[in-house]
């Protein structure tokens, strides 16, 4: 039986559309040294000014030859006329000779194949072989990897190690990237104390600050951390005002329900515009969204699991759009369930889950046994969400949609 009043719940898709429609890219371009660009968003598409490689290169240790010099049948014998190591320049190949050559060395003009050293008998400055390599064998032609003038990286991509390596391979020392967006954060709750302090009766340690810090850092944001804020309207208003004057986006945890100790909602109403959503998702029913002057605001629920989940589902898209890389909904992987889910809920559920491989090499997805939104352990145990649509049950063996955490941030 479902006791939840679902009449005014906003669906996940609708909330996401409303939220992301209101956000625009706001980062500005700066040039950064290549080694400082990991995770940054590229501000312009990049074209290569050179061919890579710039000339024909050997892809093997062996001997450069001209296939026109091969014996018509049987063994070919060729004298050696030069030695070309990687990093040196080559002379043109003398007709009727071979050149000793190494991986990454330039292929001499006049040679059209490299024969592997394993296929050759080399004695007294000459080589003998019966292989008949085709023209072009073991040679990387100029532009084999990149042709001059082609786009190698697209504006809006988030730079990964291999992207930075590719930029280096065309000789770039710097890249134009968007500056980091500034995210202000604070955490409400009189029950909260920081790790390191004594845990007196009624108090709990603040964990949301640390989870959010890590999430924002891994997304490449500049963090303005205002720390803990007590449950009073004055303190909440003051923190909200300070955060909003410094940041592009303010993210808070707790205090967005409609209880008398929940002041975030009223603070935003007084300082700017607020939309308070009751979302049709689990975890994370209350979510506040608003604006103070030009600064966007997202008020997450207080429960640690809800913070993690709503950050993935709503804050990540907002940040990615602000950063200039846009947002694509994560691609769900269809995986066989290794669990039963017999309690249908009118809200869409994002269960903490992880993939396992069975002895017979099947991939299955398991869910954490305790899906309570206060059980932070479940997010550590898990590596993704299973998304269960509204009002559905699942039986072991059925396919479900799995969303790896890594796709969000
Ligand atoms: P609230 O949304 O303020 O009603 O908080 C919901 C639940 O989350 C309560 O049990 C709070 O104690 C808990 N909570 C709120 N903020 C934090 C935090 N920063 N770290 C850990 N738990 C929190
Ligand atoms: Mg609270």
DSSP codes joined into one string, 290-311? EEETTEEEEEE-SSHHHHHHHI
Cβ atoms within 10 Å of 79's Cβ, excluding its own: 12
Report which of 96, 92, 105, 167 is spatially closest to residue 140, judged by C-alpha positions. 105
CATH class of this structure's domain 12-28+180-323: alpha beta
Domain ranges of the chain: 12-28+180-323, 30-52+145-178, 57-140, 333-408
Centre of ligand 2 to C-alpha 259, Å, is: 9
Q: What are phi and psi of 321, to 5 degrees?
A: -70, -45
The two most distant CA atoms of the chain are separated, in Å, by: 95
Centre of ligand 1 to C-alpha 348, Å, is: 22
Which residues, by Cβ under 5 Å, contact ligand 2, an ion?
Answer: 189, 254-255, 302
Q: How far is CA 354 from the centre of its chain?
A: 19
Q: CB neighbours of 344 closer than 8 A, spacing ≥ 6?
A: 2, 391, 392, 393
Minimum-distance ligand to the CA of 252?
1
Question: Whose alpha carbon is nearest atom 12 of ligand 1?
Answer: 191
Is the beta carbon of 207 within 6 A of some atom in ligand 1? yes
* pLDDT at 259 (0 to 100): 82
Around 219, how many Cα atoms within 13 Å sit in the side-chain half-sphere?
Answer: 30
* pLDDT at 173 (0 to 100): 98
Is the beta carbon of 283 within 6 A of some atom in ligand 1? no
Is the beta carbon of 287 within 6 A of some atom in ligand 1? no
* pLDDT at 27 (0 to 100): 78
Is the beta carbon of 227 within 6 A of some atom in ligand 1? no
* pLDDT at 26 (0 to 100): 86
Architecture of domain 30-52+145-178: Alpha-Beta Complex (3.90)
Architecture of domain 57-140: Beta Complex (2.170)
* pLDDT at 4 (0 to 100): 45
Centre of ligand 2 to C-alpha 1, Å, is: 29
Is the beta carbon of 407 within 6 A of some atom in ligand 1? no
pTM to 2 decimals?
0.91
* pLDDT at 297 (0 to 100): 96
DSSP H/E element including 165: helix 161-169
* pLDDT at 262 (0 to 100): 87
Instruction: Please identify every stretch of the chain with a pLDDT value under 50, giving residue numbers as ranges.
Output: 1-5
* Radius of gyration from C-alpha coordinates of the chain: 30
User: Which of the following CATH numbers is that of domain 333-408: 1.10.3720.10, 3.40.50.1460, 2.40.340.10, 3.40.50.300?
Assistant: 2.40.340.10
Question: How many whole angstroms separate alpha carbon 37 and alpha carbon 4?
Answer: 47
């Amino acid at each position: 039986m479902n006791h939840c009043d679902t009449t005014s719940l906003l669906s996940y898709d609708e909330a996401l559309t409303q939220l992301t429609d209101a956000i625009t890219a706001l980062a500005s371009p700066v040039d950064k040294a290549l080694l400082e660009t990991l995770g940054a968003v590229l501000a312009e598409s990049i074209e290569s000014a050179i061919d890579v490689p710039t000339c024909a290169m050997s892809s093997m240790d062996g001997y450069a030859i001209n296939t026109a010099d091969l014996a018509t049948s049987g063994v070919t014998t060729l004298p050696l006329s030069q030695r070309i190591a990687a990093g040196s320049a080559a002379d043109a190949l003398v007709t009727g000779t071979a050149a000793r050559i190494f991986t990454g060395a330039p292929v001499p003009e006049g040679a059209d194949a490299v024969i592997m050293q394993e296929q050759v008998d080399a004695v007294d400055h000459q080589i003998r072989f019966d292989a008949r390599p085709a023209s072009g064998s073991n040679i990387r032609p100029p532009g084999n990897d990149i042709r001059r003038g082609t786009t190698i990286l697209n504006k809006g991509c988030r730079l990964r190690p291999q992207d930075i390596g590719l930029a280096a391979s065309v000789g770039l020392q710097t890249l134009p990237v968007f500056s980091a967006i500034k995210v202000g954060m604070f955490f409400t709750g009189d029950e909260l104390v920081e790790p390191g302090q004594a845990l007196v009766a009624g108090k709990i340690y603040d964990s949301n600050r640390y989870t959010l810090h890590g999430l924002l850092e891994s997304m490449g944001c500049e963090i303005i951390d205002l720390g803990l804020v007590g449950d009073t309207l004055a303190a909440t208003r003051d923190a909200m005002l300070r955060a909003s004057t410094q940041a592009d986006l303010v993210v808070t945890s707790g205090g967005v329900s409609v209880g008398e100790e929940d002041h975030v909602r009223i603070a935003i109403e007084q300082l700017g515009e607020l939309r308070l959503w009751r979302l049709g998702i689990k975890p994370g029913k209350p979510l506040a969204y608003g604006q103070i002057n030009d600064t966007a605001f997202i008020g997450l629920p207080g429960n640690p699991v809800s913070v993690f989940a709503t950050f993935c589902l709503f804050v990540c898209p907002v940040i990615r759009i602000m950063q200039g890389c846009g947002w694509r909904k994560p691609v769900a992987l269809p995986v066989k369930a290794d669990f039963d889910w017999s309690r249908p809920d009118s809200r869409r559920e994002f269960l903490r889950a992880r993939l396992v491989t069975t002895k017979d090499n099947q991939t299955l997805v398991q869910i954490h046994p305790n899906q309570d939104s206060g059980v932070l352990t479940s997010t550590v145990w898990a590596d993704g969400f299973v998304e269960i649509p509204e009002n559905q049950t699942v039986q072991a063996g059925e396919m479900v949609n799995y969303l790896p955490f890594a796709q969000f941030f």
